[in-house]
Amino acid sequence: MENSMQFKAEVQQLLQLMIHSVYSNKDIFVRELVANAADAIDKARFESLSKPEFAQEWEIRIEADEKENTLTISDNGIGMNHDELVSDIGTIARSGTKAFIEAMKNAKDTEGNASAAGPELIGQFGVGFYSSFMVADRVDILTRKAGSDKAWKWSSDGREAFTIEEAQRDGQGTTIILHMKEDAKNYLDYWKISSIIKKYSDFIEYPIRMRHTVRKDDKETEEDSTLNSMKAIWLRPESEVTPEEFNSFYTHLSGQIGEPLKRISYSAEGTSEFKALLFLPARAPFDFQFGERRTNGLHLYVRRVFITDNCPGLLPDYLRFVSGVVDSSDLPLNISREMLQDNPQILKINKNLAKRIISELTKMLENDREKYEQYRSNLPELTEYIIDGGCHAYFGVYGSQDGDGTPTIDNARQINLTADAVAKWVG
C-alpha cells in the first residue's frame, strides 16, 4: 500500500531552491550520492564484524539508461527500513536546514550574481541527497535494510510530497534512480560520469563500477569498468609505494616534473586525526613570481573524498610552496569553504604541519648541507635576513663576520630561526 506524506515547510523551500536556482557546479550531486553510498557500505562492513551474514563483495554501481532517461547509483551497504527512510530522507528539516536555505539565497558567484551556490554549500547541513533534484525531475529510492526481508520504495518529484510503499529488492543496500531533466541528459554519458568520479571520488576504497559500450574487432560490446583507482597513496605504507608512484603523484599535485626535494609523511592520531603527504619542491613553483600562488599547494580530502584544492588555512602563507594532500577523519564530509576558515580542526592541522615542515628544514640544514644549498638556490639574489642575537660562525663555514658581535642565542635556536627564515624567503 502506498503512503503519501508531506515534506516539512523548510524542506519544500529547500527543494524549490534546488529545482529552480542556477548552480555553478551541478556535478556535485554525483559526489554526494557516491559518498552516501560509501558511508552505507562502511556501516555494513562494521556490522559484519559481529554479523558475518552482512558481509558482501562491496561495490558501488552506476548505470546510465538513455532510453529510460535514468541515472542509477546503487550500493550493497546497510540499507534503510521504513522509519529510517522517513526520518533520513523525508523529514530532514533540522535546525541547520533553515541556515542552509539562507546561505543558498545569499550565495553569489565571482561576478556577484545570486543563486550560484558552489559545491561547498550543497549538503553543508546534511542535505546532500537533495542535490539530486538539481538534475532530476523525479527521484526513486529502493532500499532494503541489512538483515531484513522487506524492501521499501521512496519516490518524489521534489515538490510538496513523497510516497513510500513496500517493494522488492534483491539483497541489502540502496538504489537511487534519477529521472533526468532535459537539460541534464549529459550526465548519462559514460565519460562525463567517469571524469566526475576521477575528480571527486577516485580514492573511495570501494570499487565504483559502470557498464559502457566499447568497440572491439569492429563490434560493439558492453563491459564493466572500474571508474576509481582506490589507491589513496597517502594511506598506504611507504614501503609499498614505489618512488615512481610518489613522483607521479607529486607531478599530479604540483605540475612539476621530476623528483621533489623532500617527501614528508605525517599521521596524527588522538583528539585530532588526519594523514598528510607533503612534498618540498626542488625548485620554486612556476607561479611563485605572482606573489600569491594561483594554484594552491594542498588538496583537502575527507575520508578519501575530495573537498577542495583551495584551502589556504591548511598551511601558513609562507609555506604555500609546499604541495601535498591532507585527509581528515574529523571534518564533516560537506564542510564549506567558509566553515574551513575558522574550523578548530583546520587550525590544529595548520599548526602540526608547519611544525613538522620547519623541523624537516632544520634537519636538512644540520645534516644535509647540499640539499640545503639546493633549496637556497630558489631564493632571490641578495636576500638578507637579520637574526637578532645570531652569529655567522655557528654555521661553521662563514666564520665570524663584521657586525656579528657576541651571540645572545644558542646554536639550536639560531638553526630553528634560520629554517623558519628559509621558508619565509621562498614564500
pLDDT in tens, 303-331: 888 888 877 788 887 787 788 999 998 88
Sheet hosting strand 151-156, strand order edge to edge: 3-6, 161-167, 151-156, 136-144, 173-180, 70-75, 60-65, 208-216, 219-226
Report how far apart, in Å, the C-alpha atoms of 181 and of each of 9, 68, 123, 184, 367 are: 24, 12, 21, 5, 62
Q: Quick one: pLDDT band at residue 138, thresholds 50, 70, 90? A: very high
The CA distance from 190 to 427, in Å, is 42
pLDDT in tens, 98-135: 555 565 556 544 444 444 444 444 433 345 788 888 89
pLDDT tens for residues 372-387? 676 666 544 444 566 7
Q: What is the pLDDT of residue 312?
A: 73
DSSP string for residues in 17-80? HHHHS--S-TTHHHHHHHHHHHHHHHHHHHHTTT-GGG-----EEEEEETTTTEEEEEE-SS--
For the chain, list the domains and their CATH numbers. Answer: 3-226 (3.30.565.10), 233-354 (3.30.230.80), 365-426 (no CATH)
The per-residue pLDDT for range 20-54, each reduced to its tens digit, is 654 557 888 898 899 889 989 999 999 999 999 99
Question: How far is residue 188 from each of residues 180, 205, 265, 286, measured CA to CA in Å?
Answer: 9, 24, 39, 38
The reported pLDDT for the residue numbered 131 is: 83
pLDDT above 50 for 398: no
pLDDT at 294: 44
Q: What is the per-residue pLDDT for 48?
A: 93
Residue pair 19/158 in contact (Cβ under 8 Å)? The answer is yes
At residue 376, the pLDDT reads 60
What's residue 370's pLDDT?
A: 76
0.75 cut: is pTM over it? no
Distances (CA, A) of 85 to 29, 128, 163, 174, 379: 19, 15, 11, 11, 59
> What average pLDDT does the segment 146-154 reach?
95
**Which tens digit of pLDDT belongs to each residue from 46-86?**
999 999 999 999 999 999 999 999 999 999 999 999 998 88
